[in-house]
Structure 1
């Protein structure tokens, strides 16, 4: 590994953990901060490499599990941290239908795992005033918005970094 990649990786881990920590202590904007934390992996892929980015993900995941609220840390470990890799590989396919299908499969799997985990260990009875199917559909719509916003943020950083010659 190059020294520059190790340095950038350490910085990316620190930024991710800061976003996750802030998400765990403030009462609002958790999804926004988790989205910002999930942007770090694609930026790491752009500026370093996939292998370095995976080390960033592992280090941020381990650190967050040790020092941050478990619900936020698990959300990052199971979905928000990994999604950058899923997005990277699925968008290389260049088949929009297949890309979206694979992203939804990954998201639904993560949603099921997180829902089951939280219901089992944290909240024994999740009070729902509307049927679960409507919650699932709403969460999937939010996922589409999340994916689109993530694409916009990644494009913005990519263009900024490219124009400054930082990679």
Structure 2
């Protein structure tokens, strides 16, 4: 694929990501679902335009989300949902299932702490109705469900659209 085609697709992926993040910032519900959909764009771009251009998509999407003032959506995308496509790509390249699970778990735990810190620093609302231990367990379960769902999406894209996208 020629370079201009990759750049064009990267621009389209960035625009689509920003559109989804914008909807996420104004929608009263389904924020996690929309963030998960936005995060699926990075693996799509890795499959279609390569890792280097996908990193540019991630950086441009994160920067535009911050510039547009999509506060919580931007923070969640930059620190967890956007970067996870790259984490998944590199971790699963190891082809060692136990190590993959451990590394993903470490990433999710670190990202939770980082998200908490950034939310506190920026003064974004943190409403915890549950004990932090229970919340952490729920977060870990969510993380593995999210990973599995993203795997299904990636496999679907890879089998149905490979070569056509």
TM > 0.5? yes
What is the Cα deviation at residue 79 of structure 1?
A: 0.9
| Contact 1:24–1:72 under 8 Å retained in 2 | yes
1:70 equivalent in structure 2:
71
Alignment of 1:93-104 (within 5 A): 93-104=94-105
2:16 equivalent in structure 1:
15
Residue segments in structure 1 that go unaligned for 5+ positions in a row: none
What is the TM-score with the length of structure 2 in the denominator? 0.94
Question: After TM superposition, which residue ranges in structure 1, 4 or more long, deviate above 6 angstroms?
Answer: none
Q: Determine if the alignment matches structure 1 residue 106 to structure 2 residue 104.
A: no
Match of 2:164 among 141, 163, 166: 166
1:145 equivalent in structure 2:
145
Alignment of 1:1-167 (within 5 A): 2-123=3-124, 126-162=126-162, 165-166=163-164
Change (3 A) 1:158 1:134: same
What is the Cα deviation at residue 122 of structure 1?
A: 2.1
Q: Distance in 1 between matches of 2:120 and 2:77?
A: 17
Residue segments in structure 2 that go unaligned for 5+ positions in a row: none
Change (3 A) 1:75 1:48: same
SS of match in other structure, 1:82: helix
Q: Per-residue displacement from partner, 1:31-52 (whole Å, max 9, x unpaired)?
A: 0110011001111000011100
Q: Per-residue displacement from partner, 1:69-117 (whole Å, max 9, x unpaired)?
A: 2111011011111000000010011111100111111111111011122
* CA RMSD between the two structures: 1.5
